[in-house]
Amino acid sequence: MEISAFYILIYTIEGFIFGNYAIRLFDSKFHWHLQVSMLFIFYSGLYLLSRLELSWSCNTVTFFAANFCFLLLMYRLTWYTALFHAAAATFLMGISEFIPYSILFSFFHSSGKPNDYFFSLVLLTAISKTLYFTFMTLLAHYEKRILDIPPDKTFFFLISIPIISLFLMLSLFFISENGNLPTFINCMISASAVLLLICNLLVYAADSYSKKRNQSFTELSLQLQKEQDATEYYKLLLRQNENQNILIHDIKKHINMISVLNDKNEPKKIAEYISLLIQSPALKESAHLCDREILDAILCRYQTRCREAGVTFHTDIRSGTTEFVTDTDMTSLFCNLLENALESATGTAEAFIELSVSHRENTPYTVLVMTNSCGSDPFVRHGERLPTSKPDKGRHGYGMKSVCRIVEKYHGEIQNYYEGSTQTFHTILTLRQEP
């Protein structure tokens, strides 16, 4: 029973080490929940096969095959890349088991009690897995440099922890093997070695989680800053429209001035005056799509972008439906939705985007419905997540997070679905206006 429980723990630790190695380096196809589930299935299979007491060569082959299949199924890798990393993990596993067992085997008491043998086995296995963890961490750091992933500034601090742990475990092993200690003390020493290994993994996991959260926070902060800048941009557009209205209002005066210059027979001055009027920023093209100024500027910009991309753009924004939404939230919400829709629709046959915003009668809810053409189902192989199609996936994908943040802020709901028969993507979003 003790041996079975111990081996279950060991295979769990091995799966944790390899899973974290893969997550750090590769782009996953699925949500992390599915990755953990598949890793559990593969390593549970390895544990069950180990109970059959197969030869070491068979165990090596099955370990390699499980890691290879896991990488190939869960990550966007070519088969030869998955083959290399599975082989590297298998080799490092073999080295990490060979070194401690071959060097320290002579310290076993040949006449010791069965319990002494078990405690020594636990100590050696803890040393072996700590060594495997160290090797895999070093390999991941080296691979990051090859893949041009930004280096981890805390790497040398983190790698020193398992190295120090190895020294402590070796010390515990020598104390246990060379001292005539009671069984209870041997049990505590073995448990201490295992807990020291687990602490290494927990420190590593906590550091990875903290860095991921910090990266997400940084990216969201940059996204918010970008949205604030966009808000200022659209406010500048509004001021431009205002200048245009002023110019139109004053057009009669300009015509009178041209008439005066004409009466004086000064064609050069007339040409210069007309040229100044034509080049005036106030005479740039303008349109009016809704009664909310900041939203009107956003829609006009995307109307122009759609026309340039060959995408038909239709809007139906009912009066007074967005007055309770702040300018910043308005910019963030509609820019992200329209940007994703334009990206999805571009290049499809008969590309179009339809956007409507209306008020649900007798309720405090505003309903936004957007439909756009989409060549393929974005949910396939991604579950409920909407993948980004941008090359640098690590720095994108925050647009929908920003949309969800706004929906939550206004106590609303969002629903997305893909209709295969018409190849269209639908977004239905509600926002609640507080009384």
Q: What is the pLDDT of residue 189?
A: 83
Domain spans of the chain?
Answer: 2-222, 289-432
Burial label, 122 (beta-carbon count in 10 A; 0-12, 13-18, 19+): buried
| Confidence (pLDDT) at 84 | 92
Q: Which residue, among 102, 90, 79, 76, has the nearest Cα to 23 in the 3D structure?
A: 76
Tell which CATH architecture fits domain 289-432: 2-Layer Sandwich (3.30)
The closest of 324, 320, 359, 322 to 337, measured between CA atoms, is 322
How far is residue 95's CA from residue 90's CA, in Å, rounded to a whole number? Answer: 9
Q: Which position has the higher pLDDT, 182 or 350? A: 350
pLDDT at 26: 84
**In the predicted model, what is the mean pLDDT of residues 344-351?**
89
Reference 208, options 39, 32, 64, 90; nearest CA is 32
* pTM exceeds cut of 0.85: no
The average pLDDT across 364-370 equals: 92
pLDDT score recorded for residue 248 = 61
Looking at residue 302, its pLDDT comes to 85
pLDDT of residue 58: 87
Q: Dihedral, CA atoms, 264, 266, 269, 270, nearest 10 degrees?
A: 80
- Which of 3-17, 83-97, 190-204, 227-241 shows the lowest mean pLDDT across its residues? 227-241
What would the mean pLDDT of 330-343 be, rounded to a whole number? 88
CA distance linking residue 427 with residue 207, whole number of Å: 37
Can you give the pLDDT at residue 119?
A: 75
Rounded to whole angstroms, how far apart are CA atoms 97 and 100? 6
- Contact at 8 Å (CB) between 176 and 58? no
The per-residue pLDDT for 213 is 75
Beta bridge partners of 368: 357, 429
pLDDT band, very low/low/confident/very high, at 221 (cuts 50, 70, 90): low
Average pLDDT over residues 350-370: 91
Report the pLDDT value the prediction gives residue 53, as an integer from 0 to 100.
77
Mean pLDDT of 361-385: 79
Confidence (pLDDT) at 65: 93
Report strand pairing: 413-419 vs 424-432. antiparallel
Residues 275-310: tens digit of each pLDDT? 776 666 555 545 567 878 778 878 888 888 898 899
Q: Could you tell me which of 220, 217, 219, 430 has the C-alpha nearest to residue 325?
A: 430
How much of the chain exceeds pLDDT 70, in percent? Answer: 77
Q: In this predicted structure, what is the pLDDT of residue 102? A: 73
| pLDDT confidence of residue 303 | 85
Residues 32-54 have a mean pLDDT of 86
What's the alpha-carbon Rg for the chain, to the nearest Å?
Answer: 33
The arithmetic mean of pLDDT across residues 245-268, rounded, is 70
